[in-house]
Amino acid sequence: MKQFFVGCLSLISILIFILIIIAIFAHYEDREEIRICSVDAANIRYGPGTEYKKDDKGPLKWGDTLYVLDRENGWLRFRLNPNDTIWYGWVRKDLTVKGSRWEDIVREREKQLAKRKSKSMRKMRSLKASIGFDGTQFMIVNNDHYDWTTVKMEINAGIIRGGYKLRVSIIAAGETYYVNARRFTKRDGTMFNPLTTRPMGFDIYCDQGDWFGKLN
Protein backbone atom coordinates (compact mmCIF):
# COMPACT_ATOMS: atom_id res chain seq x y z
CA MET A 1 0.00 0.00 0.00
CA LYS A 2 2.86 2.36 0.90
CA GLN A 3 4.47 1.75 -2.50
CA PHE A 4 1.15 2.52 -4.18
CA PHE A 5 0.89 5.92 -2.49
CA VAL A 6 4.51 6.68 -3.29
CA GLY A 7 3.86 5.81 -6.93
CA CYS A 8 0.77 8.04 -7.01
CA LEU A 9 2.64 10.94 -5.51
CA SER A 10 5.42 10.49 -8.04
CA LEU A 11 2.91 10.47 -10.91
CA ILE A 12 1.18 13.59 -9.55
CA SER A 13 4.54 15.33 -9.20
CA ILE A 14 5.39 14.51 -12.81
CA LEU A 15 2.01 15.82 -14.03
CA ILE A 16 2.43 19.04 -12.06
CA PHE A 17 5.91 19.49 -13.49
CA ILE A 18 4.58 19.00 -17.04
CA LEU A 19 1.78 21.53 -16.47
CA ILE A 20 4.28 24.08 -15.13
CA ILE A 21 6.49 23.62 -18.20
CA ILE A 22 3.48 24.04 -20.52
CA ALA A 23 2.43 27.20 -18.67
CA ILE A 24 5.94 28.62 -18.90
CA PHE A 25 6.15 27.99 -22.64
CA ALA A 26 2.66 29.41 -23.19
CA HIS A 27 3.57 32.55 -21.26
CA TYR A 28 6.84 32.84 -23.18
CA GLU A 29 5.00 32.49 -26.48
CA ASP A 30 2.49 35.16 -25.48
CA ARG A 31 5.27 37.55 -24.49
CA GLU A 32 7.03 37.05 -27.81
CA GLU A 33 3.93 37.43 -29.97
CA ILE A 34 4.28 39.86 -32.85
CA ARG A 35 1.23 41.90 -33.86
CA ILE A 36 0.75 44.61 -36.46
CA CYS A 37 -1.33 47.78 -36.39
CA SER A 38 -4.28 47.25 -38.76
CA VAL A 39 -5.80 50.76 -38.72
CA ASP A 40 -4.60 54.10 -40.08
CA ALA A 41 -3.98 55.48 -36.58
CA ALA A 42 -4.10 53.90 -33.11
CA ASN A 43 -3.40 55.92 -29.96
CA ILE A 44 -0.62 54.74 -27.66
CA ARG A 45 -1.51 55.05 -23.97
CA TYR A 46 0.46 55.02 -20.74
CA GLY A 47 -1.84 52.33 -19.37
CA PRO A 48 -4.51 49.80 -20.36
CA GLY A 49 -7.47 52.14 -20.87
CA THR A 50 -8.67 55.37 -22.46
CA GLU A 51 -8.48 57.09 -19.06
CA TYR A 52 -4.68 56.99 -19.38
CA LYS A 53 -2.85 59.82 -21.12
CA LYS A 54 -1.74 59.44 -24.71
CA ASP A 55 1.92 58.68 -25.17
CA ASP A 56 4.11 61.40 -26.68
CA LYS A 57 5.42 58.95 -29.27
CA GLY A 58 2.20 59.60 -31.15
CA PRO A 59 -0.27 57.15 -32.68
CA LEU A 60 0.72 53.90 -34.30
CA LYS A 61 0.35 53.82 -38.06
CA TRP A 62 -0.99 51.11 -40.34
CA GLY A 63 1.69 48.44 -40.70
CA ASP A 64 3.68 49.26 -37.54
CA THR A 65 5.08 46.14 -35.84
CA LEU A 66 4.40 45.55 -32.15
CA TYR A 67 6.30 43.18 -29.86
CA VAL A 68 3.78 42.13 -27.21
CA LEU A 69 4.89 42.04 -23.58
CA ASP A 70 1.61 41.56 -21.74
CA ARG A 71 -2.19 41.75 -21.99
CA GLU A 72 -4.85 43.28 -19.78
CA ASN A 73 -8.60 43.69 -20.38
CA GLY A 74 -8.37 43.87 -24.17
CA TRP A 75 -5.21 45.99 -24.19
CA LEU A 76 -1.65 45.09 -25.14
CA ARG A 77 1.55 46.25 -23.48
CA PHE A 78 4.16 46.35 -26.21
CA ARG A 79 7.42 47.76 -27.43
CA LEU A 80 8.26 48.87 -30.96
CA ASN A 81 11.85 47.71 -30.81
CA PRO A 82 12.52 44.21 -29.43
CA ASN A 83 15.89 45.41 -28.10
CA ASP A 84 14.39 48.38 -26.23
CA THR A 85 14.24 47.39 -22.56
CA ILE A 86 13.09 50.79 -21.27
CA TRP A 87 10.11 52.14 -23.24
CA TYR A 88 6.76 50.41 -23.63
CA GLY A 89 3.23 51.53 -24.43
CA TRP A 90 -0.35 50.26 -24.42
CA VAL A 91 -2.77 49.92 -27.33
CA ARG A 92 -6.17 48.33 -27.86
CA LYS A 93 -5.82 44.75 -29.05
CA ASP A 94 -8.69 45.02 -31.57
CA LEU A 95 -6.70 47.66 -33.49
CA THR A 96 -4.01 45.08 -34.26
CA VAL A 97 -3.77 41.67 -35.92
CA LYS A 98 -1.43 38.73 -35.54
CA GLY A 99 1.67 38.93 -37.68
CA SER A 100 0.73 35.61 -39.33
CA ARG A 101 -2.44 37.22 -40.72
CA TRP A 102 -0.74 40.33 -42.09
CA GLU A 103 -0.39 39.19 -45.69
CA ASP A 104 -4.12 38.41 -45.85
CA ILE A 105 -4.93 41.85 -44.40
CA VAL A 106 -2.70 43.57 -46.96
CA ARG A 107 -4.30 41.70 -49.86
CA GLU A 108 -7.78 42.57 -48.64
CA ARG A 109 -6.83 46.22 -48.21
CA GLU A 110 -5.41 46.34 -51.73
CA LYS A 111 -8.66 44.89 -53.08
CA GLN A 112 -10.72 47.50 -51.24
CA LEU A 113 -8.50 50.34 -52.46
CA ALA A 114 -8.76 49.06 -56.03
CA LYS A 115 -12.56 48.94 -55.76
CA ARG A 116 -12.68 52.50 -54.41
CA LYS A 117 -10.38 53.73 -57.17
CA SER A 118 -12.46 51.99 -59.83
CA LYS A 119 -15.68 53.41 -58.39
CA SER A 120 -14.18 56.90 -58.20
CA MET A 121 -12.97 56.74 -61.80
CA ARG A 122 -16.36 55.48 -62.92
CA LYS A 123 -18.12 58.39 -61.23
CA MET A 124 -15.82 60.92 -62.90
CA ARG A 125 -16.30 59.47 -66.39
CA SER A 126 -19.21 60.60 -68.53
CA LEU A 127 -20.37 58.24 -71.24
CA LYS A 128 -20.76 59.38 -74.83
CA ALA A 129 -24.33 58.37 -75.57
CA SER A 130 -27.09 59.34 -77.97
CA ILE A 131 -30.70 58.50 -77.15
CA GLY A 132 -33.65 58.50 -79.52
CA PHE A 133 -37.32 57.60 -79.09
CA ASP A 134 -39.83 57.00 -81.89
CA GLY A 135 -42.89 56.54 -79.72
CA THR A 136 -42.56 52.80 -79.17
CA GLN A 137 -38.88 52.03 -78.80
CA PHE A 138 -35.67 53.61 -77.61
CA MET A 139 -32.46 53.79 -79.64
CA ILE A 140 -29.36 53.90 -77.46
CA VAL A 141 -26.08 54.59 -79.26
CA ASN A 142 -22.73 53.84 -77.61
CA ASN A 143 -20.42 56.49 -79.09
CA ASP A 144 -17.51 55.44 -76.88
CA HIS A 145 -14.56 53.37 -78.11
CA TYR A 146 -15.13 50.81 -75.35
CA ASP A 147 -18.00 48.50 -74.43
CA TRP A 148 -20.46 49.35 -71.68
CA THR A 149 -20.90 46.46 -69.28
CA THR A 150 -23.42 45.73 -66.51
CA VAL A 151 -25.71 48.40 -67.96
CA LYS A 152 -28.70 49.77 -66.07
CA MET A 153 -31.05 52.19 -67.86
CA GLU A 154 -33.81 54.19 -66.21
CA ILE A 155 -36.68 56.30 -67.56
CA ASN A 156 -37.81 59.40 -65.63
CA ALA A 157 -35.61 58.79 -62.60
CA GLY A 158 -36.69 60.83 -59.57
CA ILE A 159 -39.95 61.89 -61.21
CA ILE A 160 -43.42 60.99 -60.01
CA ARG A 161 -44.65 58.04 -62.11
CA GLY A 162 -41.00 57.42 -63.01
CA GLY A 163 -38.42 54.83 -62.04
CA TYR A 164 -38.84 52.39 -64.93
CA LYS A 165 -35.66 50.33 -65.27
CA LEU A 166 -34.01 47.83 -67.58
CA ARG A 167 -30.73 45.97 -67.19
CA VAL A 168 -28.61 44.50 -69.96
CA SER A 169 -25.22 42.84 -69.76
CA ILE A 170 -23.45 44.81 -72.50
CA ILE A 171 -23.83 47.50 -75.16
CA ALA A 172 -20.84 47.24 -77.45
CA ALA A 173 -18.72 50.16 -78.61
CA GLY A 174 -20.36 51.84 -81.63
CA GLU A 175 -23.52 49.76 -81.27
CA THR A 176 -27.05 51.12 -81.67
CA TYR A 177 -29.19 49.23 -79.19
CA TYR A 178 -32.94 49.10 -79.88
CA VAL A 179 -35.31 48.27 -77.06
CA ASN A 180 -39.11 48.34 -76.80
CA ALA A 181 -40.29 50.88 -74.23
CA ARG A 182 -42.55 48.30 -72.56
CA ARG A 183 -39.50 46.30 -71.47
CA PHE A 184 -38.82 48.97 -68.85
CA THR A 185 -40.56 48.10 -65.59
CA LYS A 186 -40.91 49.24 -61.99
CA ARG A 187 -40.13 47.07 -58.98
CA ASP A 188 -43.74 45.91 -58.80
CA GLY A 189 -43.63 44.76 -62.44
CA THR A 190 -45.56 47.71 -63.91
CA MET A 191 -44.47 48.23 -67.51
CA PHE A 192 -43.72 51.62 -68.99
CA ASN A 193 -46.60 52.69 -71.22
CA PRO A 194 -45.56 55.37 -73.74
CA LEU A 195 -49.27 56.02 -74.54
CA THR A 196 -49.95 57.29 -71.02
CA THR A 197 -46.51 58.39 -69.77
CA ARG A 198 -44.11 60.70 -71.54
CA PRO A 199 -40.40 59.77 -71.31
CA MET A 200 -38.70 62.98 -70.22
CA GLY A 201 -35.44 61.72 -68.71
CA PHE A 202 -33.19 58.82 -69.62
CA ASP A 203 -30.25 57.72 -67.45
CA ILE A 204 -27.54 55.14 -68.07
CA TYR A 205 -25.29 53.58 -65.42
CA CYS A 206 -22.58 51.01 -66.12
CA ASP A 207 -19.16 49.84 -64.97
CA GLN A 208 -17.46 52.41 -67.19
CA GLY A 209 -19.42 55.55 -66.24
CA ASP A 210 -22.76 57.36 -66.25
CA TRP A 211 -24.91 59.37 -68.64
CA PHE A 212 -27.88 61.57 -67.76
CA GLY A 213 -30.04 63.13 -70.45
CA LYS A 214 -33.40 64.59 -71.32
CA LEU A 215 -35.68 63.59 -74.14
CA ASN A 216 -37.49 66.22 -76.19
Instruction: Give mean pLDDT, residues 114-137.
Output: 78
Contacts of 204 (CB under 8 A, 6+ apart): 127, 129, 140, 148, 151, 152, 153, 210, 211, 212
Instruction: Give mean pLDDT, residues 126-143.
Output: 93
The tens digit of pLDDT for each residue in 153-179 reads: 999 887 655 689 999 999 999 999 999
What the chain holds in terms of domains, given with CATH numbers, is: 30-109 (2.30.30.40), 126-214 (2.60.40)
pLDDT of residue 145: 94
pLDDT of residue 11: 67
| 167 membership: H or E segment, kind and range | strand 164-171
The percent of residues above 90 in pLDDT, for the chain, comes to 51
The answer to whether the pTM exceeds 0.85 is no
Distances (CA, A) of 64 to 31, 80, 150, 213: 18, 8, 40, 49
Rg (CA), the chain: 33
